[in-house]
Amino acid sequence: MSNRTAVTEFLLLGVSDFRELQILHFVVFLVIYLAALMENLLIVTAVALDHHLHTPMYFFLMNLSILDLGSISVTMPKSMVNSLTNTRFISYPGCVAQVFLFVFFIVTEITLLTIMAYDRYVAICQPLHYERVMNRGACVQMAAGAWISGIVYSALHTGNTFRLPFCQSNVINQFFCEIPQLLKLTCSDSYLSEVGFIAFGVFIDISCFVFIIVSYVQIITTVLRIPSEQGRHKAFSTCLPHLTVVSLLLFTGFFEYLNPISTAASNADLLVGVLYAVLPPVMNPIIYSMRNKEIKAALQKLIVWRLFTKN
């Protein structure tokens, strides 16, 4: 048997060896990160402070913003620090923590988006039963179930990945620690168990997506029967952004996790990583608030209140 050296650290993908491009990468990521922080913090603050937004839909939206804050804070700061300090290193424990937290936030977000689709289905298709079905206790239980399922799944997934020996290399072809890229570094056939675990996760995600699509078919059918054009517009304005967010997250994630392990590293991996790890936390607040008058009104009141208190 060949000698195996235990991996104690990993090397993340660097943008370039040129210092100017590293600084540019840092600045671009910093702007994106600060924008995501500001947008999601505004959503959380507006929903928490405005009693008009204390409804199930906005309660779940606040949870979504918290998850987006967490997921983007797991991946981008380390990449920015590496570019600024001209290094690519991430410690083994740091990589474990990054995988655990990122999977936790993403899985919880997918579960929460499924719950939000159910909330819209009940609100539009069964409005007379909405207050009874989506009461405060039920909403808290569903949100807690999403968070707990994310923790359990992430713990199993992370533990199953890092029990594998890494001896092929320690270079990860991604700007953060990602399970598909880590599996390319393993030197044991037991990685097939983790592939099976990924397949199970993809099956669950597809099931969630099918549930969301079926819910929206029912919603669209019901909306088309609404005689009021204003009523149809309001229903579509709350549903279409949700479907956009789900599609963006799931399709980019499917592309990355369904890519064969034997496939050689490519720039497409980096692009897809940015699409599903960076873009959703930035776009979600914009998509949800751009056509939502209640969120816009709450944000305007929040800004005016802050200016008034300062003066």
pLDDT band at 2 (very low <50, low <70, confident <90, very high): very low
Q: Give pLDDT, residue 174.
A: 86
pLDDT at site 3: 45
- From 6-15, 78-87, 114-123, the region with the lowest mean pLDDT: 6-15
Most confident of 10-24, 106-120, 183-197: 106-120
Q: Answer yes or no: is pLDDT of 311 > 60.
A: no
What is the arithmetic mean of pLDDT over 224-238? 69
* Phi, then psi, of 11 in degrees rounded to 5: -115, 120
Task: Please count the structural domains in the chain.
Answer: 1
From CA 201, how far away is CA 234, in angstroms rounded? 34
Q: Does residue 165 lie in a domain region?
A: yes
Q: Which of 90, 97, 74 is nearest to 154 (CA)?
A: 97
Question: Is residue 254 a contact partner of residue 205, using CB atoms and an 8 Å limit?
Answer: yes
Listing DSSP states for 84-100 in one string gives HHT--EEEHHHHHHHHH
The single-letter code of the amino acid at 5 is T
For 156, phi then psi, to 5°, come to -65, -45
Range of the domain at 259: 9-306
* Range picked from 9-23, 72-86, 266-280 for highest mean pLDDT: 72-86
pLDDT at residue 247 greater than cutoff 60? yes
- How confident is the model at residue 258, as a pLDDT? 66
Residue 200 lies in a domain: yes
Q: What is residue 234's predicted lDDT score, i.e. its pLDDT?
A: 64
Q: What percent of the chain has pLDDT over 90?
A: 30
Which CATH number is 207's domain given?
1.20.1070.10
Q: Is residue 36 part of a domain?
A: yes
- Radius of gyration from C-alpha coordinates of the chain: 21
The stretch 165-189 carries a mean pLDDT of 82
Say whether pLDDT at 62 is over 90.
yes
User: Is residue 264 in a domain?
Assistant: yes
pLDDT at 186: 80
Residues 105 and 178: their CA atoms lie apart, in Å, by 13
Tens-digit pLDDT profile for residues 146-175 = 999 999 999 988 988 888 888 767 888 888
Decide if pLDDT at 26 tops 50.
yes
Say if residue 193's pLDDT is above 70: no
CA atoms within 13 A on the CB side of 213: 8
CA distance 254 to 154: 17
User: Would you state the pLDDT for residue 33?
Assistant: 95
Q: Is residue 265 a part of any domain in this protein?
A: yes
Q: Is residue 311 part of a domain?
A: no
When mean pLDDT is compared across 4-13, 101-110, 302-311, the lowest value belongs to: 302-311
Residue 105 carries which DSSP code?
H
Spatial distance between the Cα atoms of 5 and 17, rounded to a whole number of angstroms? 27
Taking alpha carbons only, the member of 121, 113, 39 closest to residue 290 is: 39
Distance CA 220, CA 38 (A): 33
Measured distance CA(238)–CA(260) in Å, rounded = 37
Predicted pLDDT of residue 64: 93
CA 7 → CA 75, 165, 207, 290, distances in Å? 21, 8, 36, 46
Please check the confidence at residue 131 and state whether its pLDDT lies above 50: yes
Q: Is there a domain that residue 3 lies in?
A: no
When mean pLDDT is compared over 12-16, 31-35, 232-236, 268-272, the highest value belongs to 31-35
Residue type, 70: G
Weakest-pLDDT range from 10-19, 159-168, 238-247: 238-247
- The pLDDT assigned to 145 comes to 94
Asked if the structure places residue 46 within a domain, the reply is yes
Residue 86's region, left for phi above 0, alpha for psi from -120 to 50, else beta, is: left
* pLDDT at residue 236 in the model: 67
- Mean pLDDT, the chain, rounded, equals 82
